[in-house]
C-alpha cells in the first residue's frame, strides 16, 4: 500500500518579523502530532521547513532528529514557463509510493491554497496516492469570516496585475462581477505592495462598494476594517508594508 500525502498547514506568522509563538497556539494538536511523525517532506524552502519542525518539536517531540528527515523542495519552473507537469513531480512522490507518509508544507497557511503545491497534489491523485489536508489557519477563510461580506458566494482571485492600467481594468471587471453575482471578491498582494493596492482599490471602486482589509491575521495585532469605499475616502486608512494582508470587496 502507498503512503499518504499530508497537506500540513504552517503558521501565518512566518516572515512577519513577529517573535515565533508557541505553535500549539497556532495549529491544532492533532496536526502537530501528524507533523511530528513524518519522515519525508516536500516544501517551498528547506530552511524555513526546518524552522517549522523545530517549533513542532517544542510541542510534540519529533519521531526522528531533523537531520535524519528527508526534505526536498518543489521545483521552480523557469521564469515564463508553466508549472511542472505531473510526470516531473513523480520523484517527489517516490516515498509515498514506497509506503511512507509524506508532508507537503508551504511558507504560510495551507499548502496549495494561494501557495505552491497544487501540482503535486494533482500528481498524487493521478497515481492514487491518498491525500489528506490537515486543519490549520487559512488567511483567506479568516478574512472572509471577519469581513462581514457574503461568505456564501465568494471568489479568490489571487494577485492583481502589477501594471497600473491592467490593475485598474481588473478591479473594475471584478467589481462588475461582484455586483452581477452578489459575490465577494478576495485578493492578496506581496506585503510591500499593500499600501499601493489599498490606494488603488479606494480610488477605483464605487463609493457604495464595501471594502474589507484584514491585516496580520492570527498575529497579536491583527485587525480587520470593513466599510463602504465612501467612508474609506472620508476616513483614510493605512496598511503596513511588511505584514500580509487580505483584501475583499462586495459591490452594492
Instruction: Summarize pLDDT for 76-96 with one digit per residue, the tens.
Output: 765 544 555 555 788 899 999
Give me the DSSP letters along 96-123.
HHTT--EEEE-SSBSTTSSSS-HHHHHH
Residues 163 and 233 in one domain: yes
Of 133, 156, 177, the position where a domain reaches its end is 133
pLDDT for 86 equals: 53
Contact 6, 102 (CB under 8 A): yes
Residues 118 and 199 in one domain: no
Residues with Cβ within 8 Å of residue 166, at least 6 apart in sequence? none
pLDDT for 87 equals: 54
Residues 115 and 204 in one domain: no
pLDDT for 114 equals: 85
pLDDT for 21 equals: 75
User: Could you tell me where the DSSP H helices lie in 60-108?
Assistant: 94-97
Q: Residue 244: give the domain boundaries.
A: 139-250
Residues 127 and 143 in one domain: no
Residues 13 and 128 in one domain: yes
pLDDT for 14 equals: 82
* pTM score, whole prediction: 0.89
Residues 151 and 225 in one domain: yes
pLDDT for 1 equals: 82
pLDDT for 125 equals: 95
| Residue ranges of the chain whose pLDDT lies below 70 | 17, 19-20, 77-87
The number of domains in the chain is: 2
Residues 112 and 175 in one domain: no
pLDDT for 89 equals: 84
- The strand ranges marked E within 26-87 are 40-43, 70-73
**C-alpha angle with apex 241: 236 to 247, nearest 5 degrees?**
60
CA 78 to chain centroid, in Å, comes to 22
Distance, CA of 189 to CA of 161 (rounded, Å): 10
Amino acid at each position: 500500500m502507498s503512503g499518504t500525502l499530508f497537506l500540513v498547514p504552517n503558521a501565518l506568522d512566518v516572515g512577519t518579523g513577529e517573535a515565533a509563538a508557541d505553535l500549539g497556539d497556532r495549529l491544532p494538536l492533532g496536526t502537530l502530532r501528524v507533523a511530528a511523525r513524518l519522515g519525508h517532506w516536500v516544501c517551498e524552502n528547506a530552511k524555513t521547513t526546518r524552522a517549522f519542525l523545530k517549533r513542532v518539536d517544542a510541542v510534540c517531540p519529533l519521531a526522528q532528529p531533523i537531520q535524519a528527515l528527508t526534505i526536498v523542495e518543489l521545483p521552480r519552473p523557469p521564469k515564463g514557463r508553466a508549472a511542472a507537469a505531473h510526470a516531473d513531480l513523480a520523484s517527489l512522490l517516490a516515498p509515498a509510493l514506497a509506503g511512507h507518509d509524506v508532508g507537503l508544507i508551504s511558507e504560510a497557511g495551507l499548502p496549495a491554497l494561494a501557495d505552491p503545491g497544487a501540482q503535486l497534489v494533482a500528481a498524487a491523485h493521478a497515481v492514487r496516492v491518498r491525500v489528506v489536508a490537515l486543519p490549520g489557519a487559512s488567511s483567506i477563510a479568516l478574512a472572509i469570516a471577519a469581513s462581514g461580506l457574503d461568505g456564501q458566494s465568494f471568489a479568490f482571485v489571487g494577485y492583481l496585475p502589477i501594471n497600473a492600467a491592467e490593475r485598474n481594468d481588473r478591479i473594475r471587471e471584478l467589481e462588475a462581477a461582484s455586483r452581477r453575482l452578489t459575490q465577494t471578491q478576495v485578493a492578496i498582494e506581496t506585503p510591500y505592495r499593500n499600501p499601493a493596492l489599498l490606494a488603488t482599490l479606494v480610488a477605483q471602486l464605487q463609493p457604495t462598494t464595501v471594502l474589507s482589509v484584514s491585516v496580520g491575521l492570527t498575529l497579536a495585532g491583527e485587525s480587520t476594517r470593513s466599510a463602504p469605499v465612501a467612508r474609506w475616502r472620508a476616513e483614510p486608512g493605512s496598511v503596513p508594508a511588511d505584514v500580509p494582508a487580505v483584501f475583499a470587496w462586495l459591490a452594492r
